Structure 1
Amino acid sequence: MAESTMKPPKIAIDPVAWMRQNLFSSWYNSLLTVFVGYLVITSAGPLFTWLFFEATFLGDKPSDCSGTGACWLFISERLNFFIYGFFPQEHQWRVDFMFGLMALSFVPQFIERFPGRKWFGLFGLTGLPVVGYFMIPGGWFGLEVVESTKWGGLMLTLILAYIGIIASLPIGILLALGRRSEMPIIRGLCVVFIEVWRAVPLITVLFMASVMLPLFLPEGVNFEKLMRALIGITLWQSAYMAEVIRGGLQAIPRGQYEAADALGLGYWKKTGLIILPQALKMVIPGIVNTFISLFKDTTLVLIIGLFDILGTVQSTVTDPAWQNVAIEGYVFVAFCFWVFCFGISRYSQNLERKLDTGHKT
């Protein structure tokens, strides 16, 4: 008789028992709970008053923000600049179209029973970059060319993070496999690449890519500043990604390699069908943590003259017409980053639960 694979039912805990177990399990936990609760209660009131109750949401000019609360009028008035940067307004529909495709590709991944969600996700990893290559810069199918110097805001942040994530993962996998290779030359090259790039801060990589790289290129050969930044971010991120994946490869039991060899599988089939899927599943938290770190590090492109969402806010708060609104701008930036990073984190947790094979201890 086949054994049942059903999981045991979860034990329900009533709220009082949960609080007694997690918040008041000992005298010091009880004291800490009361202290934290006091801080939350005393700070929540003034915070919500500043954020909402006494905030200014509507108006026509900066002088309308005369209250003691937040001036959200600043965000609404400059929202177009924060999202598109200097992208021409008559062509912003192309950016909106890409935003829609991105949402169509990744939002269904959070809905378990969404029909065809795997195909939408596959399109987001393969087809979306291709469509963006034609839509955003223009010059194809009658679309007017928009120079990368006019890109900015949230649009530029997503471009930097998305391309960096998509490109660094496969490069990182190859580097991790190369570092574990039995061929000394390949292993040595991968080790040197990883250690050199990991030893250099990203801010230095961006500076070198923007200022020093053109000095070493042949005469007449040049890359746009954005392209140089993307290359630097991708290579830098690939080194970190390689070490995360190498940790997963080393965690695979030796028996898995021996079983694959016993089946007569070659190196690439053994790696692609048996070893790599298990390794990637083990290091999902590390991979996602690296992605989130890259997403936040995109703000460093400000030092080379690229205005991402943080750069657009910083350039706006210096306007004499908008004084004392820096806090509102930074809160807006923090909220945007939190939304995307939290979404990435939640999807990774959902993926971990789906791929869980019961080997957790």
Structure 2
Amino acid sequence: MRGEAQSERQATIPLRPPPGPGWLSRWLNALFGTWTDRVITLACLAAIVLVLPGVASWVFFDAVWSVADAKSCTPERGACWAVVEARFRLICFGLYPYDEHWRSTLACVVIVLVTVVSCLPVAWTLRRLSLLWGLGFATFYVLMRGGVFGLTAVTPDRWGGLALTLFIFASVVLIGFPLAIVLALSRQSKLPVISRLSAFAIDMTRSFPLLTILFAAAVILPFALPNWLQGDKLYRVIFAFAFFFACYQAEIIRGGMQAIPAGQDEAAKALGLSYLQRVAFVLLPQAFRNALPATINQVVITFKETSVVVIIGFFEVMTSGNAAFGSGEWTHAYVEVYVFVALIYFVFVFTLSRYGAYLERRMRVGLN
């Protein structure tokens, strides 16, 4: 009897799968698994060995770092990073008044801190996020615009640099996400008028390039609106950009909702939940989980597309970079300026992508 009980206990213990290969083995197998992989890997290593010393010499060893040595910046020397030191304020602040740069800096710090705090799980409630972004965005706007609390008024046409880029990006995402949810739900409405109108708006907007929509909002739309409804050009561009973002995001959310089994909605109906309750507590959470990779990708694309507003005449960070080497003294240092601007974009985009990967891992293991 004792032997039978012991055998039954052993039978109920699940067998663990054998340990798989470690990360080093998987990495080496990916690089040298087949003859094709080996040839490509060796060719890439040879190219790196040939190119890396020259790049390192240009970037670090032969570079000019100080404005005091700016006269030694020649094509024969390395990178002229002195342009970044000399034109840093212009790149980061654009046309914003020189004496008020501290306000633009503080506004950027506020919006970055709000973004970081909103990424923490403790802030993942609608009330907390609304309060956090409401206060943070209001603080950002007051610092940039001024006119209150003894701050000098600075109109939006004088905003520029990184602060303007962050303002456009944050405004587009904050306006676009709720609008995307409304468009996605409207397109799935059982009322033909609502579903067809939303489908027409989404498909029509997605058929035009972003530049066309922004140009129409900035230049053409004022001819069709009365003076009291025109508003500032920056706000028209932001709302047009947000609607463009919302149309693409609406299709991403709709795809996530279509991946939800029909039994989920039916079970919610059986529990007596209303339509709003089913959408808020059953459908949308699962839809966002299904659409998370595409959503992160769309947010990253939106941040990079803020540079398109240079065509409209705004002095965002890319335009500020162009102006930084526009003078005769620094004309030769355009590569260094573009590398610095690219580094700014890389920091923000890489951070967004890593946070998206963290969210995917967290939701994959089923944590709340």
TM-score by length of 2: 0.88
Counterpart of 1:88 in structure 2 is 97
Distance 1:14 1:261, change over 3 A: closer
Q: Is it true that 1:240 corresponds to 2:240 in the alignment? A: no
Q: Is it true that 1:65 corresponds to 2:73 in the alignment? A: yes
Counterpart of 2:60 in structure 1 is 52
Match of 1:24 among 24, 27, 32: 32
The letter of the residue matching 2:133 is L
Residue 111 of structure 1: how far off its partner (Å): 7.6
Runs in 1 of length 4+ with deviation above 4 angstroms? 7-12, 108-112, 116-124
Counterpart of 1:249 in structure 2 is 257
* 1:322 alignment partner, SS class: helix
- Between Structure 1 and Structure 2, how many residues are aligned? 351
8 Å contact kept, 2:67–2:85: no
Residue 141 of structure 1: how far off its partner (Å): 2.6
Distance 1:19 1:238, change over 3 A: closer
Residue 118 of structure 1: how far off its partner (Å): 5.3
Instruction: Provide the identity percentage.
Output: 33
Counterpart of 1:229 in structure 2 is 237
Separation of aligned partners in 1, 2:229 and 2:200: 27
Separation of aligned partners in 2, 1:123 and 1:57: 44
Counterpart of 2:156 in structure 1 is 148
Separation of aligned partners in 2, 1:11 and 1:96: 49
Separation of aligned partners in 1, 2:204 and 2:157: 30
The letter of the residue matching 2:251 is E
The letter of the residue matching 2:143 is M
Residue 93 of structure 1: how far off its partner (Å): 2.0
Q: Is it true that 1:174 corresponds to 2:182 in the alignment? A: yes
Separation of aligned partners in 2, 1:292 and 1:140: 34
Q: Is it true that 1:76 corresponds to 2:91 in the alignment? A: no
Separation of aligned partners in 2, 1:336 and 1:128: 22
Match of 1:128 among 112, 126, 136: 136
The letter of the residue matching 2:89 is N
Residue 275 of structure 1: how far off its partner (Å): 0.6
Alignment of 1:194-213 (within 5 A): 194-213=202-221
8 Å contact kept, 1:106–1:124: no
Counterpart of 1:282 in structure 2 is 290
Q: Greater shift after overlay, 36-45 or 174-183?
A: 36-45
Separation of aligned partners in 1, 2:119 and 2:183: 30
* 1:23 alignment partner, SS class: helix
Distance 1:283 1:220, change over 3 A: closer
Q: Is it true that 1:351 corresponds to 2:359 in the alignment? A: yes
The letter of the residue matching 1:251 is A
The letter of the residue matching 1:99 is C
Separation of aligned partners in 2, 1:300 and 1:221: 25
The letter of the residue matching 2:299 is F
* 2:332 alignment partner, SS class: coil
Please, what is the CA RMSD of the aligned residues?
2.5
Which residues of structure 2 form unaligned runs of 5+?
1-11
Distance 1:123 1:61, change over 3 A: farther
The letter of the residue matching 2:245 is Q
CA shift digits 1:158-202 (9 cap, x unpaired): 111111111111100110010001011211221111011111111
Separation of aligned partners in 1, 2:346 and 2:98: 27
Residue 223 of structure 1: how far off its partner (Å): 1.6
The letter of the residue matching 2:172 is G
Residue 20 of structure 1: how far off its partner (Å): 3.9
Counterpart of 1:40 in structure 2 is 48
Separation of aligned partners in 2, 1:75 and 1:19: 38
Separation of aligned partners in 2, 1:61 and 1:137: 38
Separation of aligned partners in 1, 2:102 and 2:89: 12
Residue 307 of structure 1: how far off its partner (Å): 1.2
Separation of aligned partners in 2, 1:269 and 1:117: 21
Residue 62 of structure 1: how far off its partner (Å): 4.1
Distance 1:158 1:103, change over 3 A: closer
Larger radius of gyration: 2
* 1:301 alignment partner, SS class: helix
TM-score by length of 1: 0.90
Q: Greater shift after overlay, 62-71 or 292-301?
A: 62-71
Separation of aligned partners in 1, 2:246 and 2:219: 22
Separation of aligned partners in 2, 1:228 and 1:63: 44
Alignment of 1:332-343 (within 5 A): 332-343=340-351
Counterpart of 2:326 in structure 1 is 318
8 Å contact kept, 1:245–1:280: yes
CA shift digits 1:293-325 (9 cap, x unpaired): 111111111111101111111123221111211
Distance 1:14 1:212, change over 3 A: closer
